[in-house]
Structure 1
Amino acid sequence: MSEVVELTRGLVSIPSHDDETEAGDYIENWLREETDAEVTRDDAGNVVARRGPADAASLALVGHHDVVPPADSQTTAAGEYVVEERDGRLHGRGTADMKGAVAAAMLAFRDAAVGDTASGRTRSDDADRGGSDVDQPSELVFASFVGEEQGGVGARAAIEDGFAPDYAIVGEGSTGYSAEGATDVAVAHKGRRGSTVTARGSAAHASEPEAGENAVYRACDAVDVIRDLEFPAVEVFGEEVRGSVAVTEIDGGSAWNVIPEACEVTVDERTVPGERAPLERVEEIEGVEWTVEQDLPPMRCDDADFAETVLAAASDAQVADPELVSKPHATDAGWLAEAGTTCVVCGVAEPGEAHTDTESASIEVLERCYDIYRDAAERF
């Protein structure tokens, strides 16, 4: 069994859908035992480790160790997580999203030669692996956050506490976007703005509808405004990222014979970097208010050289020809990019694996991501 598979199995076996403490303990203890890095654990539960000179340019390998609640088939009667290996894949909650990438990043953080490192090796020792032969020290950072599945709780706490690497590779899924099995490099992803349109009117008996103000009608007028909005789009290194807006729920009325006095419309917007759909236009309708409940930021890489550096590492790690792509889902890279960190996303998960009852990760891709993270750190 390879080291990355063994470490992934260990992480995945630890329940972390409602309490990440034990998983955080596992990561922290491993880092303290396997490296001589500076390891810290903040009040939120985030685990951060650092190697190399603090005044040098920094590259962070970033993940999260919380997961969504498992299906019954993914736990034992005692509540333990089931981890199974079959058909070249690891199956279990968190294998794809994203403890597999966390394990690969932990090992790459330990093993990468980044200038004057604790391992005693330098880039020139690994020139035959495609790395630079220039011994230029840099700081390598590892971070595993809590609360990503709750809207980036851990990432936001770390940023507020001063976490600010210059560059980051966030290990969310990027495999299978350009071609089946290829591990690509995402240079952009969409954000999500969830909002509510509230229409208010006045109740009346349905036999005399003119005696009231029908809130459902006002809500329908607002929906018409939303349907006519143009979706914003931006281009990132030749990759188009297009947003979307969709009404996903409508709730109004109290009885079949009462003119409704209130109606709520839920709106799901997938945002793109630097652009938002003008949803505030619905407030031009009498009796209509618009409220934002969640705004997960999108991400756009702002350094083509960094993107190409990670892409080169990805190319060397596989037979396929990976590409620069975009992702439809928000990740912690959005919070980091918003705070000033230059990000890309590169990781194990394939489309359709995360959050499913049959979640799994390819063992070949787990080992590949270790190679990508290590090589990218050495090229940085």
Structure 2
Amino acid sequence: MNELADLTESLVAIPSHEDETAAGDAIEEWLRAETDARVERDAVGNVIAYKGATDDPDADTLALVGHHDVVPPAERQTAGEGNAGEYVVERRAGRIYGRGAADMKGALAACMLAFRDAEPPDGRELAFASFVGEEVGGTGARHAIEEGFAPDHAVVAEGSTNYSKPGVTDVAVAHKGRRASTLVASGTAAHASEPEAGENAVYRASDVIDAVRELDAPEATVFGETVSGSLAVTMVHGGETWNVIPERCEVTIDERTVPGDRADIGRAAEAVDGVAWEVDQDLPPMACGDDAFADAALDAAREVHDELGLDAPGHVVKPHATDAGWLAEAGTDCLVCGASEPGEAHTDTESVGIDVLERCYRIYETLAERAF
């Protein structure tokens, strides 16, 4: 399917790590030229389109969702000095190489073509959304939700390939969230020759670290799949010079959250005098709450794999947070299904398989045309 590979290459070539405008322009222009959909471009640069069930107020809306921002490229991934200039795109050995090929302009192209080609059943409105700012905390998705974007169901086209076994594209029914927080231990400065005259913030930080280590990591079960969270101290910063008792020490915590549960970091903070807890980022987890939707998506994926002579995919859990978390938090039943394989995103050799993109296109189109 050369059209899919060509569209992927054209999107990957457009720089979008600092400014997503040009990539959004290209997506909007393609949708207006290739479809009769109602296309919108919002104030932050999200591109959203709708087709089908225009006169049915009770229509169920299924959205195919991606994002067109990327992380900064490596020098080898651009045609200019440093990370400036057009992105380098290469096609070889059945794969497309370039920044954003896997995360996630390849799957985005598959969504665009599936949105164009699918004929949704009666009572179904089909939506397409490409968000900005996914890599910096989901700013585009959050803006769209605030402005009323509220599909009943969504397939978020982040990576789910090679999770259960090599050579398959699975359907993720849940993913972890990420809460980044800081425990701030406060003390009283004094000369280090008289430590009893002060209150050592580093000691207080050490005590609260011990309290954090006693906490249980969160855990949940979704469709029989175990979602295990984690909790780790990743940085400690305290003191200013060798001969002064430190009056401040900061402890950074990375927590992977799960649907419906979180570690009780607040309890650890309260257990030590002079310690405050600050949440720096909180990306929500996702769990699909609609059995019929999850089963329909897996059936579609299995049919496509069977037609291609591939092993059957399964329901899996994804370890990384995505925009599905924001949508799920707002009430949308979400799944994650996409072409990116573990170890491809954000690397200087990032690539995606053309055959996997074609597989994803067929899964999206099949599901979009199916009642569930």
The one-letter code matched in structure 2 to 1:270 is R
Residue ranges of structure 1 left out of the alignment (5+ in a row): 116-135
Q: CA deviation at 1:283?
A: 2.5
Q: CA deviation at 1:86?
A: 1.1
Determine the C-alpha separation between the residues in 2 that align with 1:378 and 1:24. Answer: 26
Determine the C-alpha separation between the residues in 1 that align with 2:362 and 2:162. Answer: 17
Q: State yes or no: 1:313 paired with 2:316.
A: no
Match of 1:63 in 2: 66
Partner of 2:369, secondary structure, is helix
Contact 2:211 2:271 in 1 (8 A): no
Match of 2:279 in 1: 292
Q: CA deviation at 1:8?
A: 0.3
Q: Normalising by the residue count of structure 1, what TM-score does the alignment of the two structures yield?
A: 0.94
Match of 2:289 in 1: 302
The one-letter code matched in structure 1 to 2:347 is T
Determine the C-alpha separation between the residues in 1 that align with 2:62 and 2:33. Answer: 22
Q: CA deviation at 1:222?
A: 0.6
The one-letter code matched in structure 2 to 1:276 is R
Residue ranges of structure 2 left out of the alignment (5+ in a row): none
Determine the C-alpha separation between the residues in 1 that align with 2:22 and 2:60. Answer: 32
Match of 2:124 in 1: 138
Partner of 2:321, secondary structure, is coil
Identity between Structure 1 and Structure 2 (%)? 67
Q: State yes or no: 1:15 paired with 2:15.
A: yes
**2:247 corresponds to which of 261, 264, 267:** 261
Per-residue deviation, residues 346-368 of structure 1 (Å, max 9, x unmatched): 00100111111110001110110
User: Runs of at least 4 residues of structure 1 off by over 3 A?
Assistant: none
Determine the C-alpha separation between the residues in 1 that align with 2:199 and 2:186. Answer: 8
Match of 2:85 in 1: 79
Match of 2:263 in 1: 277
Determine the C-alpha separation between the residues in 1 that align with 2:270 and 2:28. Answer: 49
Determine the C-alpha separation between the residues in 2 that align with 1:138 and 1:213. Answer: 64
Determine the C-alpha separation between the residues in 1 that align with 2:285 and 2:66. Answer: 17
Match runs of 1:94-173 below 5 Å: 94-115=100-121, 136-173=122-159
Count of aligned pairs: 360
The one-letter code matched in structure 2 to 1:332 is D
Determine the C-alpha separation between the residues in 1 that align with 2:209 and 2:12. Answer: 43
Partner of 2:26, secondary structure, is helix
Determine the C-alpha separation between the residues in 1 that align with 2:220 and 2:278. Answer: 25
Q: State yes or no: 1:183 paired with 2:169.
A: yes
Determine the C-alpha separation between the residues in 2 that align with 1:153 and 1:184. Answer: 27
The one-letter code matched in structure 1 to 2:249 is C
Q: State yes or no: 1:339 paired with 2:330.
A: yes
CA RMSD after TM alignment: 0.9
Q: State yes or no: 1:327 paired with 2:318.
A: yes
Match of 1:233 in 2: 219
Match of 1:49 in 2: 49
Per-residue deviation, residues 117-174 of structure 1 (Å, max 9, x unmatched): xxxxxxxxxxxxxxxxxxx331000000000001000000000000000000000000
The one-letter code matched in structure 1 to 2:286 is M
The one-letter code matched in structure 2 to 1:277 is A
Determine the C-alpha separation between the residues in 2 that align with 1:316 and 1:359. Answer: 28
Match of 1:119 in 2: none
The one-letter code matched in structure 2 to 1:6 is D
Determine the C-alpha separation between the residues in 2 that align with 1:2 and 1:188. Answer: 32
Per-residue deviation, residues 270-290 of structure 1 (Å, max 9, x unmatched): 000111100001123111000
Determine the C-alpha separation between the residues in 2 that align with 1:101 and 1:332. Answer: 14
Q: State yes or no: 1:379 paired with 2:365.
A: no
The one-letter code matched in structure 2 to 1:47 is V
Q: Normalising by the residue count of structure 2, what TM-score does the alignment of the two structures yield?
A: 0.96
Contact 2:67 2:132 in 1 (8 A): yes
Contact 2:46 2:132 in 1 (8 A): yes
